[in-house]
Structure 1
């Protein structure tokens, strides 16, 4: 009995030593396995800035750069070049650095509009000072329609709810105007009786406009909704200074009633339910308010706008503009960049980049907050 008591602890000690040796061997084997695996794995590199992937600046194939038009996709942009009296439309792939000719015109191109679906383009050419030609092509450059308009100037509003329809406003030299509905399927136009030249689509058969009174000039006016089917009108807001319609959003700009040095930006869904409002400093022109350039991306639900740092007169303002981003649905906001010029902006379909400048000659990587030149000076 006493002998068994003396041998029992020795047995436990030997068993414990054996177990430690096994565990040590297993641990060394696992460490060796991890070292081999780590050696064979490729090291993970940090995420590359979007701008570092772009092949810039663009080398123009032929002629002189005129301007960029917009986005065909998140990686392809459209631009126009001029050579003597002719113009060409190219698409450029930012990732491959290649330009592809889409359309060549024997007359100077005034502008190009990309359809809401990105499947068509409207080419506006000007054979003479009093004639405008509208050509509709697909993204491969195949003509679908060509129509001439006697006019001094033309403006267009593509129907995002029914892409076969485009509002065409013809201006005469005295700025009197006529509005036509161009039907691409029927290849014809129908004259519309509307009191204002600048119209936005609010629905498939519904438009909206600010009803300015020429006889009594004012800094603001009512925003009107009109049905194109029966002509019925309703006043949406009694006083706005600017507005824009997007497929899922209405944006209005108005003067802050409590502080007229501030502008209110209000957002409404398609049922006219207010989603969000923010205010920024306001700059005045001689006869109206300066509304800084803005754009909205439906995919990310983000609204980008320039904002002055302080209120005052536009002519004497020198403090630069902030580029701000807002999400109207959750009310969040962020400062993208500051110290910029107030120039046109156009968001990419995926919301990752902005064309920027009077000719869209610059591009902004939003996440990296960096500006790149598209064209070499």
Structure 2
């Protein structure tokens, strides 16, 4: 799809804002190589983790080979995936916080730029970049076996795993001018199909339904209507008008809007799968050149706990220096708690149980919610 230069600039601005808000899509990490577990052993570890307190976690990780790149995410409450780089190759390791052991799961002869774990930890997606204008997507089983591999002509790729059907992944394939193609990857069928969707940044809201902000490219605004669309249908339904940002967490929809006339507060509202409002809370907001900065956040649906980094006051993002509080909000009771203070606005990712979180641009630190301690995951 081709657009005018003005539209390309607009899309570029929205793309940058999206990357700041939704906690980026590049991650990974490393350590001691042992014999690979079988798929059943790895899955059993995930489903039946030992009930050992997080105070006994063995950190920091000692990198077995190469240079630490990123933590890729939680594989269970006591297991992490991380990426290391050695010359032009990358390796994925599974690290056990209880034993302090690293197991080599997968090695790529080209650098890995993205690692995503499927919602139920059934599969692992990695993106490599053999060249500037090519993205290669590989799907791995829990033990590191290649299930499929696909190459896409692209400058950048963004992924949305379908939590209702993990054999499907929506892929936004961007050109250098930020024009894009939307693709649906089916893992079981090992094929992709092109979709017609008017915006590149979407979220699954049902097994065959997606939601997106329908930005006006002719008259840019800070807010846009949130639309619901069923794949394969031309029909679109406006769910909520005037939304700044949104996210979905399986059965929960979250929107960021403004309710006060002076626009001094950002309001986070939570809805169930019937789009019925459950609760809401407000925090100060920071302004940017393209609108508002929505700080990083995450949600644990089992506990109904939403966490976010909260600025102490409303101000311009460029001049704000007072740090952020990490706060939790119970969407059922409305109770709020301060977990830590004096943090930077950097990505955060909750563990499956919600008792801990990865934190930092490379998820290089770990926050223990029980002790309220911040620990380095990797030695320098």
Fold similarity call, TM over 0.5: yes
Find 2:270's aligned residue among 267, 270, 277: 267
CA distance in 2 between partners of 1:256 and 1:312 (Å): 18
Residue aligning to 1:193: 196
Residue aligning to 1:5: none
| Residue 329 (structure 1) shift | 1.4
CA distance in 2 between partners of 1:73 and 1:322 (Å): 26
SS in 1 for 2:270: strand
Q: Does residue 73 of structure 1 match 2:76?
A: yes
Find 1:141's aligned residue among 123, 144, 151: 144
Q: Pairwise mapping of residues 66-215 of structure 1 onto structure 2 (< 5 A)?
A: 66-215=69-218
CA distance in 2 between partners of 1:298 and 1:72 (Å): 17
Q: Does residue 360 of structure 1 match 2:357?
A: no
Number of residue-to-residue matches in the alignment: 330
CA distance in 2 between partners of 1:65 and 1:327 (Å): 35
CA distance in 2 between partners of 1:304 and 1:50 (Å): 21
CA distance in 1 between partners of 2:222 and 2:231 (Å): 27
Find 1:290's aligned residue among 288, 293, 298: 293
CA distance in 2 between partners of 1:283 and 1:323 (Å): 16
User: How far does the alpha carbon of each residue in 1:206-245 deviate from its partner, in whole angstroms, 9 at most, with x for none?
Assistant: 0000111222111111111101132311111111111000
Q: Decide whether the 8 Å contact of 1:206 with 1:225 is kept in 2.
A: yes
Residue aligning to 1:45: none
Q: Decide whether the 8 Å contact of 1:293 with 1:342 is kept in 2.
A: yes
CA distance in 1 between partners of 2:302 and 2:99 (Å): 24
SS in 2 for 1:72: strand
Q: Decide whether the 8 Å contact of 1:347 with 1:353 is kept in 2.
A: yes
SS in 2 for 1:52: helix
Residue aligning to 1:60: 63
CA distance in 1 between partners of 2:340 and 2:102 (Å): 30
| Residue 267 (structure 1) shift | 0.3
CA distance in 1 between partners of 2:303 and 2:146 (Å): 33
User: How far does the alpha carbon of each residue in 1:80-130 deviate from its partner, in whole angstroms, 9 at most, with x for none?
Assistant: 000000000111001100001111001100111100110100010010001
Q: Decide whether the 8 Å contact of 1:49 with 1:368 is kept in 2.
A: no
Q: Which moved further from structure 2: 355-364 or 333-342?
A: 333-342
SS in 2 for 1:315: helix
CA distance in 2 between partners of 1:62 and 1:346 (Å): 26
Residue aligning to 1:237: 240
| Residue 49 (structure 1) shift | 10
| Residue 295 (structure 1) shift | 0.0
Find 1:276's aligned residue among 267, 275, 279: 279
Q: Does residue 320 of structure 1 match 2:323?
A: yes
Q: Which runs of 5+ in 1 are unaligned?
A: 1-47
| Residue 281 (structure 1) shift | 0.3
User: How far does the alpha carbon of each residue in 1:304-348 deviate from its partner, in whole angstroms, 9 at most, with x for none?
Assistant: 001100001000001110111011112111111111111100000
Residue aligning to 1:35: none
Sort the Cα spacing of 1:50 and 1:284 in 2 relative to 1 into closer, same or farther, 3 A.
farther
CA distance in 2 between partners of 1:156 and 1:282 (Å): 27
Q: Looking at CA atoms only, which structure, 1 or 2, has the larger radius of gyration?
A: 1
Deviation >4 Å, runs of 4+ = 48-51
User: How far does the alpha carbon of each residue in 1:344-371 deviate from its partner, in whole angstroms, 9 at most, with x for none?
Assistant: 0000001110000000000000111110
